[in-house]
Chains A and B, each alone.
Chain A
Amino acid sequence: QVQLQESGPGLVKPSETLSLICSVSGASSSTHYWNWIRQPPGKGLEWIGFIHYTGNTRSHPSLYSRVSMSVDTSRNYVSLNVNSVTAADTAVYYCARWSEDQRAFDYWGQGTLVTVSS
């Protein structure tokens, strides 16, 4: 059974870098596209971007300059960095697997809340 688990600091100071890891079990990180999606408190879903182990990556245009993602196939995890954070980056961050067959996100992590505050 595929399971995704996000982890990282729950509190980040403004202007610093938000760093999260998504640990993948029950599947290999060297298959599929792995995505990050966030949800500000009480609001809707916002796609951040995807990464493939080949290095193919794409980010939402509004976040492109601040986002980087990577895949560690040896440890089977995916990482996300968002730099120069502000309070607007406060959100629950989810990692999710993209299914090429379904053209949708078929597995999601439980999400982790990151608060940006001094």
Chain B
Amino acid sequence: DIVLTQAPGTLSLSPGERATVSCRASQSISSRHLAWYQQKLGQAPRLLIYGASSRATGFPDRFSGSGSGTDFTLTISRLEPEDFAVYYCQHYDNSEVTFGGGTKVEFK
């Protein structure tokens, strides 16, 4: 089974700063099967990035995803107040879904 490890667990930043979240897979995976979600407090997760680098509807271009193989990255170029949330990576393969443990982006 593929394990997704996110780092760091918590990212303490200020508005305007750059956020970089890592998602590492225990073995090489297809980029097409890697997604990212944003979850704000008390809300359901919301699809943010799919296919490792395609932005979902409604998200501005300060959000970007990249990576291949075992290493994937979510970048928020300049944090806005509404971006402080928890971010999860997710993988699908062989009819099974795996989530990373999550990265909380919090106010410094």
Contacts and interface: CB of A to CB of B under 8 A. Distances in A.
Interface of A: 35, 44-47, 50, 58, 60-61, 94, 99, 102-106, 108-111
A103 B44 contact: no
Task: Please report whether the interface of chain A is mostly helix, strand, loop or mixed according to DSSP.
Answer: strand
Interface residues of B, number: 25
A63 to B, nearest CB: 12
B61 interface: no
Interface in B17-53: 32-33, 35, 37, 43-47, 50-51
A58 B32 CA distance: 21
Interface of B: 1, 32-33, 35, 37, 43-47, 50-51, 54, 56, 88, 90, 92, 95-102
A108 B56 CA distance: 14
A106 B51 CA distance: 13
